[in-house]
Every structure is written in C-alpha cells, then in structure tokens.
Chains A and B, each alone.
Chain A
Amino acid sequence: KAGVTQTPRYLIKTRGQQVTLSCSPISGHRSVSWYQQTPGQGLQFLFEYFSETQRNKGNFPGRFSGRQFSNSRSEMNVSTLELGDSALYLCASSQQSEMAYEQYFGPGTRLTVT
C-alpha cells in the first residue's frame, strides 16, 4: 500500500497570505489528523477528521481550518499567515478510530512564512 502523501512538500508564503495543504491517507484509512511541528512548541495536535466531520480540534486560532472529502483526502487551510506559522505540518491517517490503531504519518509540508 502506498503511504500517506502530502503536497506540496515545501512552501514559501508571505505574511498575510493564505495557504492550503493537502493530504492523501493510506487507502482504507478514514481518520485523518493534522499536527504542527516547531522547534519551540514541538508536536501539537491541530484537528482530526473522520467521515468528512471534524471530531476533535486542538488549541489553535480560527485561522487554521480543514476539511475532509468523501474519499478521505483532507486539506488544511491557514489564512492571514503569521511568521509564527512557519512549521512542518504533518498529516497522519489511521484505519478506524474506535480501535487503538496507530497513526501513520506523511513526510510533511514545510511551510516558511516571510
């Protein structure tokens, strides 16, 4: 099976712009989670989608949003970018949320805000 894919891998944006990141989960996985990784804050949970519904959300401002499509692919959007949004954004998929299946991570999208 193909792993989790994320596009683009690298992105450079300017403050105030918006950005959309894409994630394709492993085939058959219905849950997609997003995480932000920075040197200062480490790995932080953004949100999780299951069957096109956001089930959980981390402590991030409303500028961070996401959605999931019927094929389980997910996108996250960050509006009005700030310098502090520079980070590695990781997407993870899992097979079924009711069971304790591990999450499988994509390679991430490295976002740089200038």
Chain B
Amino acid sequence: AQSVAQPEDQVNVAEGNPLTVKCTYSVSGNPYLFWYVQYPNRGLQFLLKYITGDNLVKGSYGFEAEFNKSQTSFHLKKPSALVSDSALYFCAVRDPTNFGNEKLTFGTGTRLTIIP
C-alpha cells in the first residue's frame, strides 16, 4: 500500500528566507509524486509533479521540489518566501504500477506560515 508522511504539522518562515516543506513516501516501484496547496475555503491547487527524469522539478509560483529516491523524499522548496505563500500544503503519491488507478494518497498536510 502506498503512503505519504509529512512530518511537520506547522512550519514558520520569515519573509524572504528560503523555505522547505518535507515529504517522504512509500510505494512499490517508481512513484508519481505531487504537491498541492490549499488556501482557506478553497480546493486544492496543483503546484508541481515528479514523474520521471530530472530529480529537481519546478512548478508554479516559484516552487520547486527535489526527488530523492534513496531517501524516498520529495521536499518542497522555495528560495525566498512570500507572505502570500502562507497556506496548507499537501504532498501526494500515485502508484504507477496499478494501471488505471487515479487514486491519490495524501499526506496529513503542513501549515506554512510566512512571518512578515
């Protein structure tokens, strides 16, 4: 069974500093990995994905994530945080070995607060 862990419920970062939101996963085979962001009273917005290829993937709003197979991690990063980045962030995994299975398994979420 696939699973995702986000070890930090809350991350606080000063505006302008780099930020990292951590994610580790467990899945058989090579994973499909995703990051989503959720603002209050909104649905989830897609940020970026890793399917194959370059371990560093770039996404929306200046975010990037690094896939590390040996550590089974997919941490979300941004070089310089903005107050508007404050939101709830979810890491998700999809099992590519299960053909036709769209199911995403989500982590518990990390609340990111950027302090002005």
Contacts and interface: CB of A to CB of B under 8 A. Distances in A.
Contacts of A43: 90, 104, 106, 109
A106 B43 contact: yes
Interface stretch (A13-21, A66-74, A77-85, A90-98): A90-98
A28 B71 CA distance: 37
Contacts, number: 65
B51 interface: yes
A114 interface: no
A100 interface: yes
B100 interface: yes
Contact of A103 (B41, B101, B102): B102
Secondary structure class of chain B's binding surface, majority of residues: loop
Given A100-B32, A100-B94, A102-B49, A94 B43 contact: no
Interface residues of A, number: 27
Interface string B12-55: 00000000000000000000101010000111111001010000
Interface residues of B, number: 25
B43 A90 contact: yes
Contacts of A110: 41
A104 B34 CA distance: 12
Interface in B71-116: 90, 94, 96, 99-109
B57 to A, nearest CB: 12
Interface string A51-91: 00001101000000000000000000000000000000010
Nearest to B108: A42
B100 A100 contact: no
Contacts of A48: 101-103
15 contacts: A6-B43, A33-B102, A42-B108, A43-B106, A45-B103, A45-B104, A56-B103, A92-B44, A92-B104, A100-B51, A100-B94, A103-B46, A103-B102, A105-B45, A106-B43
Interface of A: 4, 6, 31, 33, 35, 42-43, 45, 48, 50, 55-56, 58, 90, 92, 94, 97-98, 100, 102-108, 110
